[in-house]
């Protein structure tokens, strides 16, 4: 049902996931009891080329597991992932090495994701060096270019990432992700730790980069009101399943699943309270 909406879009799918399953088995400390967590249960998702798809859900709904499966950081137990029309899920290691630069991730905790012993410029240079894309003086020049592109001053290249503010660190993480010219960027709660003003600035940066780099985004968030402003498509996750998926308009104006309605209601309550406060105080 809902998933077809994305498929029906005019734009072809860059990424397709079919019946993905992932189960984690945990053993409680000092006991033989095992806990089974079904993080993904038959997840189908298509991400349209050149679009911003938002994945929303509560914490524990399986968003991040899906992200790391699509980012080839984790192997699903069952199911298939297709990227640019070829099957990823069981590719051999050489094929994976060629594929990895095209799919990049930006994480939530920018302080934890950036090596504090590297300078800002070194952080961006590292992937370029590993993939042998640039060397010598070109390396630093490319890093400076990238810093400018995300709105950081290249003069700050020698500073440690810990000297930057949260928003600047997230810009740095985006610059690193862009270094290898990816086509698909996964942003796993990348905006959650930031305040509203910074969130808006980073979202605008992402929209600018989308056109200049022809990027496809998967933006993961628990905040429906944030992603609802910019997403082309919205997928809602609940207990390891995608319960609703469609264009922004469809999901916001005619939500089908009870969980989506619940999420929208809680967003609506806050927004309505704000409007009421505005009207009430004006009288």
What residues line the site for other proteins (CB under 8 A)? 58-59, 165-167, 192-198, 200-201, 203-204, 207, 222-226, 228-230, 252, 262-264, 266-271, 273-274, 276-282
Contact (Cβ atoms closer than 8 angstroms) between residue 32 and residue 72: no
Cβ neighbours for 207, distance < 8 A, ≥ 6 positions apart? 52, 230
HSE-CB at 34 with a 13 A cutoff on CA atoms is: 6
Beta strand pairing status for 216-221 and 52-56? parallel
If the CB atoms of residues 97 and 266 are measured against other proteins, the closer one turns out to be: 266
Strand partners, 233: 53, 247
Which residues have CB under 8 Å from 256's CB, separation 6+? 1, 2, 244
Q: List the end-to-end C-alpha distance of the chain, in Å, as a whole number.
A: 47
Least distance (Å) between residue 261 CB and other proteins: 12
In the complex with other proteins, the residue whose CB is nearer, 48 or 194, is 194
3-state secondary structure of 85: coil
Closest CA to 70 of 37, 99, 38: 99
Nearer to other proteins, 1 or 196 (CB): 196
Least distance (Å) between residue 51 CB and other proteins: 13
Cβ of residue 164: shortest distance to other proteins, in angstroms?
11
Nearer to other proteins, 58 or 134 (CB): 58
Residue (241 or 259) nearer to other proteins, CB: 259
> What does each C-alpha distance from 260 to 62, 264, 269 come to in angstroms?
16, 6, 14
Asked if 216 and 12 touch (Cβ cutoff 8 Å), the reply is: no
Nearer to other proteins among residue 157 and residue 167 (C-beta): 167
Q: How far is the CB of 225 from other proteins (least distance, A)?
A: 4
| Shortest reach from residue 127's CB to other proteins, in Å | 27
Q: How far is the CB of 193 from other proteins (least distance, A)?
A: 8
Q: For 157, what's the count of Cα atoms within 13 Å in the CB-facing half-sphere?
A: 18
Q: How far is the CB of 10 from other proteins (least distance, A)?
A: 18
- Residue 145 or 271: which CB sits closer to other proteins? 271
Dihedrals φ, ψ of 207, to 5°? -65, -40
């Amino acid at each position: 049902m809902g998933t077809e909406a994305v498929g029906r879009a005019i734009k072809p799918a860059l990424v397709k996931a079919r019946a993905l399953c992932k189960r984690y088995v945990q053993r409680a400390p000092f006991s033989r009891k095992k806990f089974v967590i079904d993080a993904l249960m038959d997840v189908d998702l298509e991400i349209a080329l050149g679009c911003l798809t938002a994945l929303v859900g509560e914490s524990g709904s399986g968003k991040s597991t899906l992200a790391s499966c699509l980012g080839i950081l984790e192997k699903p137990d069952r199911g298939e992932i297709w990227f640019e029309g070829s099957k990823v899920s069981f590719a051999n290691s050489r094929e994976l090495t060629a594929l990895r630069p095209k799919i990049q991730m930006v994480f939530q905790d920018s302080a934890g994701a950036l090596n504090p012993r590297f300078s800002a410029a070194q952080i961006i240079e590292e992937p370029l060096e590993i993939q042998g894309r640039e060397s010598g003086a070109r390396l630093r020049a490319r890093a400076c270019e990238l810093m400018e592109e995300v709105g950081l001053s290249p003069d700050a290249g020698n500073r440690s990432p810990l000297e930057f503010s949260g928003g600047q660190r997230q810009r740095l993480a985006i610059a690193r992700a862009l270094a290898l010219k990816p086509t698909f960027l996964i942003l796993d709660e990348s905006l959650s730790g930031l305040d509203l003003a910074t969130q808006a600035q980073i979202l605008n940066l992402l929209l600018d980069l989308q056109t200049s780099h022809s990027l496809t985004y998967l933006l993961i968030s628990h905040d429906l009101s944030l992603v609802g402003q910019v997403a082309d498509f919205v997928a809602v996750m609940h207990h390891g399943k995608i319960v609703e998926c469609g264009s922004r308009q469809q999901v916001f104006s005619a939500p089908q699943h009870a969980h989506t309605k619940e999420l929208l209601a809680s967003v609506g309550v806050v927004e309505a309270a704000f409007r009421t406060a505005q009207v009430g105080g004006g009288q």
